[in-house]
Structure 1
Amino acid sequence: MGTKIYVGGLPYSTTEAQLNDLFAAHGTVQSARIITDKFTGQSRGFGFVEMGSAEEAKKAITALNGTQFEGRTLTVNEAKPQEPRSGGGGGRGGDRGGRGGRW
Structure 2
Amino acid sequence: MTIYIGNLSYQATEEDLKTVFEDYGTVKRVVLPTDRETGRMRGFAFVEMSDDANEDNAITNLDGAEWMGRSLKVNKARPREEGGGRGGDFRKPSY
Q: Which residue of 2 aligns with 1:76?
A: 74
C-alpha distance in 1, partners of 2:49/2:40? 25
User: Going by fraction, where is strand more abundant, 1 or 2?
Assistant: 1
C-alpha distance in 1, partners of 2:40/2:54? 29
C-alpha distance in 1, partners of 2:35/2:41? 6
**Pair member with larger Rg:** 1
Correspondence for 2:60 among 39, 44, 62: 62
TM-score normalised by L of structure 1: 0.80
**Does the alignment pair 1:90 with 2:87?**
yes
In the TM superposition, 1:33-48 aligns within 5 A as: 33-48=31-46
TM-score normalised by L of structure 2: 0.86
After TM superposition, give the deviation of residue 85 of structure 1 in Å.
2.1
C-alpha distance in 2, partners of 1:15/1:40? 17
Q: Percent identity, aligned pairs only?
A: 44
Deviations 1:1-40 (A, max 9, x none): x2x1000011001111101111000111000111110111
Question: CA RMSD, aligned part only?
Answer: 1.9
Deviations 1:39-95 (A, max 9, x none): 111001000000111101000001100000111000000000011125xx925xxxx
Which residue identity does 1:17 align to in structure 2? Answer: E
Which residue identity does 2:67 align to in structure 1? Answer: F
Which consecutive residues of structure 2, in runs of 5 or more, have no partner in the other structure? Answer: 89-95
Which residue identity does 2:6 align to in structure 1? Answer: G
Report the 3-state secondary structure (helix = DSSP H, G, I; strand = E; otherwise coil) of the residue aligned with 1:43: coil
Count of equivalent residues: 89
Which consecutive residues of structure 1, in runs of 5 or more, have no partner in the other structure? Answer: 92-103
